[in-house]
Structure 1
Amino acid sequence: MSTSTVWIFNGHKAAFPSGVFAHREQATNWIAQHKLSGVLTEYPVDTGTLDWAITNQFFLPKKPEHSQAKFIQSFTSSRQRHEHYEEGTLVA
């Protein structure tokens, strides 16, 4: 990602993230240490994910609902780097 980013870990079935890291290596070490299962995702800083995707031409809003809160608050992009972990180990 071209902007400043952070890595956020969401455990399986968690309602909220359980870790935010400036560097991927810090995150992966923490995940391994605690044998966690979930997803580690890279997020842009100081912008919303939808705005980031539009700015980088990864997403083009085409429908009226693309400007509504319900869509914006749940938007995620397949262009964000993300990794899946099971019991602290990176899986496909």
Structure 2
Amino acid sequence: MKNQVYVFMGEGANYPAGIFESKEKAEEVIKRYSLTGILSLYPIDMLLYDWAIEKKYFDIKKEYQKSPKYIGQFSCASVDHFHYEEGVCVN
């Protein structure tokens, strides 16, 4: 889908190791290097925070959840994601 990308975060990484247009291309690279980490499907042109609210995966319940720091660090387990160990999908 054009409005989404796959983002690979290696184990213990602070930043993505790669961004891919397809799961197949991502898995080819993950397998080639026997990588361990998580491949997640992210929306393009919007924050994950807004996406989660729009999809009703997240409700703002506390005032701090509107803060720039919270929004900037927001993560959502509801995005499609796949776990890899040494290049093999384990979920």
The interval holding the TM-score normalised by the smaller chain is: over 0.9
- Match for residue 8 of structure 2? 9
Q: Secondary structure at the match of 2:12?
A: coil
For normalisation by structure 1, the TM-score amounts to 0.92
Unaligned runs of 5+ in 2: none
How far the C-alpha of 1:3 sits from its partner, in A, is 7.6
Identity of matched residues, %: 36
- Match for residue 52 of structure 1? 51
- Match for residue 33 of structure 1? 32
Q: Secondary structure at the match of 2:24?
A: helix
Does residue 77 (structure 1) correspond to residue 76 (structure 2)? The answer is: yes
For normalisation by structure 2, the TM-score amounts to 0.93
Match for 2:57: what amino acid? Answer: F
Q: Deviations over 1:21-47 (max 9, x none)?
A: 011111011100111011101100000
1:12–1:39 CA contact under 8 A, matched in 2 = yes
- Match for residue 90 of structure 1? 89
CA RMSD in angstroms comes to 1.4
Q: Give the whole-Å Cα distance in 2 for the aligned partners of 1:87 and 1:3.
A: 29
